[in-house]
Structure 1
Amino acid sequence: MAEFDYDLFVIGAGSGGVRAARVSAAFGAKVAIAEEHKVGGTCVIRGCVPKKLLVYGAHFAEDLKDARKFGWKLDGKPDFDWATLRDNVLAEVDRINGAYTDTLENHDVEIFKERATIEGPNSVKLASGETRTAKHILVATGAWPHMPEFQGSEHAISSNEVFHLEKLPGRVLIAGAGYIANEFAGIFNKLGSKVTLVNRSDVILRQYDQSIRDRLLQISMTKGIDFCFNAEFEYIEKQEDGSFLVKVTGEEEKEVDLILIATGRRPKTEGLGLDAAGVALDDKGAIKVDEYSKTNVDSIYAVGDVTDRVQLTPVAIREGHAFAETVFNDNPSTVDYDCIPSAVFSHPPLAGVGMTEGEARNQLGSVKVYQSDFRAMKNVLAERNERALYKMITDADTDRIVGLHMIGPDAPEILQAAAVAVKAGLTKTDFDNVVALHPTMAEELVLLR
């Protein structure tokens, strides 16, 4: 008889856990996975996928308005129905959940649709009370929204619940300044809500280049989004009509219909039983791992946001794949965390890869910066004054491109290809030697001066 029930037991069927389970099974391992919600994790169920679909829906507000300048006759004011968008998005989530489940089952991965906790280095307990053993345990439970506590904080919601609203709120207050806060600010603003964004500091999207984030702030304010900086919640009071009275420091009381807290996400390790196995956590509650995603306990590994290395879905997928290669294919593999591209699907979207100008000056000293500040052709004809900004940072001594940042229509789609060049260590001269593809926005990348 086998010493353990499984070669691998995965806790959490998000992007990292599913990839690790599928690839490990393909290498011949006997694998089980436990998920207390839906298969697919944060990205598929309550994150980047449904949020991007809402972004697409919100974009039609401007597209329909601009269409008139392109000869399209639209009688009257376009009518938007929140319930239709919401239900179609949730239906797509269910479809993808089914596809992820089918993928696991097709690889003979046993799925437990219930919570699992760790009882020891090789033991897992299911919510049903049953215990399973495994030679290796992989924790891939992701992260969870951070919800601060203050008077009336129970009346606020997180990004988990925002996809299920019964109706579109007329007035929305969003707490935070990261990508979640700015993306939902753009979504609600374009769908017709009055949006106020509250932040504890005076900086949005701190990890992005200052020129790019300043441009987003300028455009957001022009679109009618209000910002309250250096402010924290004092209280929330629910009123008889169902609305809320909100007080933040330095501001008058404000009546709103929805309060969304988007102040970051924390590794979801609480109640997992990690202490029973002696798994070490850092001061933020994240699981400590080495370069091969192994914890201080030889049989237990962790990938994805629960380790708080880089909270991005593609990174979790790579970590899950590298784990499977290392443990079940005798091919020790690690993930390269250098020069990872990222994007914010705001209105307009922004994206970046490599060093910001500030980081480059601090690390390299001598740098050259090239910029293009322009209006997209579509915006010109639509008489929309919104301007795009592309920015390239190079090492002045070598001409190597160390950072590329942009804000404007389709910026993330353009940056994905350009990120390959930055990662490969190409130079500004390499870009200059490429003939422009005209007329496109992307051609600005090879015309920067």
Structure 2
Amino acid sequence: MADFDVDLFVIGAGSGGVRAARIAAGYGARVAIAEEFRIGGTCVIRGCVPKKLMVYASRFKDDFDDAAGFGWTVSAPSFSWRKLVSGKEQEISRLSAIYRANLDKAGVLTIDSRAVVEDANTVRLLADGRQLRAKKILIATGGTPVLDPDIPGREYAITSNDVFDLPSLPGRLLIVGAGYISVEFASIFARLGTKVAIATRGENVLRGFDEDLRNGVRDALIHAGVDFHFSHLPTRIEKNSGDLRAHLTSGIYLDVDHVMLATGRRPHTAGLGLETAGVELDGLGAVVVDAFSKSSVDSIYAVGDVTNRLALTPIAIREGHAFADTVFGDKPTAVIHVNVPTAVFTTPEIGTVGLSESEARAIYDCVDIYSASFRPLKATLSGRAEKVCMKIVVDGATDVVLGVHILGDDAGEMAQLLAIAVRLGAKKADFDATIAVHPTSAEELVTMRTRTARYERATMGPEAPDAIAAVEA
């Protein structure tokens, strides 16, 4: 049984799997990749890309409102959900075709079928029952929405997989959960005209993010009309004629068009045959891997959300590339999952990299905080009540910047560039020595000279912060 049909068989043609397949093929490996749905995976088909297109659509509402302050007279705009969905579908179909074409150009055999693992070197295609022998198998099946809470009527709910293709714009939407998927769609639909409510077991949104940014997003959503039900979850969902009635633990009920469950995602490993092959899974079903993405079986690897290390598309891509470099390029490469920039595309959006204030205080003996909240220049004429919030977290002993957190327009763009500085170990003095670009919001990052708080382990409390004036552009 030493003969193999391929050197690498990839299960899942999302961001990580496609990158791994192409790079491995570039090293001369014979590669096949199987996908049961559409080439491109969650990010391209029902995640990052269509979501960002909807974010853009939702922000035109604010742009139309702001135009009057800049001298424009705009007639009452109208919005077509069907046109947006049609445009979105056209774009993701275009991208999916490009992914497929790039696989073809790389010499990768693309198979439109679900594939399962039979043993350490064998996969079976469910479309026709064929078995293929592979020297290496890569699991890149991503994640899938969690259908929680498990309550009567849960079958009437939708998830983020469904929300992109609703037949019409919901008039009323209840979102369950308060993570990034929840707040992003709440922000989108509230601006498109939907009456949005969020129910969550927690007392705030975006657990794990810096506290000031969490509060800022929450307040912005409230200002946009989102109705929060903190510390309350649905107990049952009833289907009435034409709508749904969601009963909450608070005792009240909400009549809505849709209930969207956004309480998290879990690794998509069910039914793949991994346990039979001896692959170790953790309690969530994630493939347990080492620093080089190898599972407990020497011939089976896994990358991306299916490993539950850090569920971000760029991480999956980097892990896929590193896997191919390691296994087929003779260049052992481990992905470092620290100082990873990320964005939350609410309006205003979050851009963040590095440690939050609370994380830094738990690790370092002395932490300095530099923060600012100010009105952006655009808001002076638009009259919009919005603030940009920025925070720099610094190691008080070494002056090294540990984290940067931004809430405001283009925060995600700023975080991408800030990640370079944080990764290289820039100090606060380096930020201070950098010339500002004026007038921009980003210039505040290099002009914040006054420390707003210092936390020392010995005192466990902030010194009296120096007064800082809000910058009115």
Which band: TM-score by shorter chain? over 0.9
Letter in 2 for 1:257: D
Deviation at 1:318, TM superposition (A): 0.7
Q: Could you say which residue in structure 2 is the equivalent of 1:165?
A: 166
Match of 2:226 in 1: 225
Using the size of structure 2 for normalisation, the TM-score is 0.93
- 2:193 aligns to what? 192
- 1:92 is aligned to 91
Q: Deviations over 1:259-297 (max 9, x none)?
A: 111110000000001122111101111001111111111
Query: Structure 1 residue 144: deviation in Å?
Result: 0.2
Q: C-alpha displacement at 1:365, in angstroms?
A: 2.4
CA distance in 2, matches of 1:251, 1:318: 47
> Which deviations, in whole Å up to 9, do the C-alpha atoms of 1:9-41 show, x marking residues without a partner?
000000000000000000000000000011110
User: Could you tell me which residue of structure 1 aligns to residue 103 of structure 2?
Assistant: 104
Deviation at 1:223, TM superposition (A): 1.5
Matched letter for residue 101 of structure 1: R
Amino acid in structure 1 at the alignment position of 2:79: F
What residue is the counterpart of 2:6 in the other structure? 6
1:111-149 Cα offsets, whole Å, 9 max, x none, are 110100000111000011111110000000000000022
Whole-Å Cα distance in 2 between the matches of residues 365 and 89 of structure 1?
Answer: 49
The aligned residue for residue 178 of structure 2 is: 177
Give the 3-state SS of the residue equivalent to 1:276 in structure 2: coil
Say what the alpha-carbon RMSD is for the aligned residues: 1.0
Distance across 1 between alignment mates of 2:275 and 2:422:
42
* C-alpha distance in structure 2 between counterparts of 1:329 and 1:418, whole Å: 31
1:400 aligned partner, one-letter code = V
Per the alignment, residue 366 of structure 2 pairs with 366
Alignment of 1:44-443 (within 5 A): 44-75=44-75, 77-127=76-126, 128-148=128-148, 149-240=150-241, 242-443=242-443
1:181-238 deviation line (CA, Å, top 9, x unaligned): 0000000000000000110111211111001111111121122111101112111111
Deviations 1:356-392, CA, capped at 9 Å, x for gaps: 1111111102111011100111112100111110000
Paired position in structure 1 for 2:462 = none
Q: Structure 2: how far apart are the matches of 1:259 and 1:379?
A: 34
C-alpha distance in structure 2 between counterparts of 1:396 and 1:292, whole Å: 34
Q: Distance in 1 between matches of 2:287 and 2:414?
A: 35
Quote the offset at 1:2 in angstroms: 7.5
In structure 1, the residue matched to 2:466 is none
Q: What is the CA distance between 1:251 and its match in structure 2?
A: 4.2
Q: Equivalent residue for 2:465?
A: none
- Runs of at least 5 residues in structure 1 that lack an aligned partner in the other structure: none
Number of matched pairs: 447
The one-letter amino acid of 1:169's match is P
Whichever residue aligns with residue 179 of structure 2, its letter is G
Where does the alignment leave 5 or more consecutive residues of structure 2 unmatched? Answer: 451-473
Q: CA deviation at 1:299?
A: 0.6
Task: Answer whether contact 2:275 2:281 (CA < 8 A) is retained.
Answer: no
Looking at structure 1, the residues matched to 381 and 429 of structure 2 have their Cα atoms a distance apart, in angstroms, of: 33
Which amino acid is 1:79 matched to?
S
Corresponding residue SS for 2:390: strand
Q: What is the distance in 1 between the residues matched to 2:367 and 2:349?
A: 26
SS at match of 2:28: coil
State TM-score, norm by structure 1: 0.98
Q: Equivalent pairs: percent with the same residue? A: 49
2:349, 2:408 within 8 Å by CA — same for their partners in 1? yes
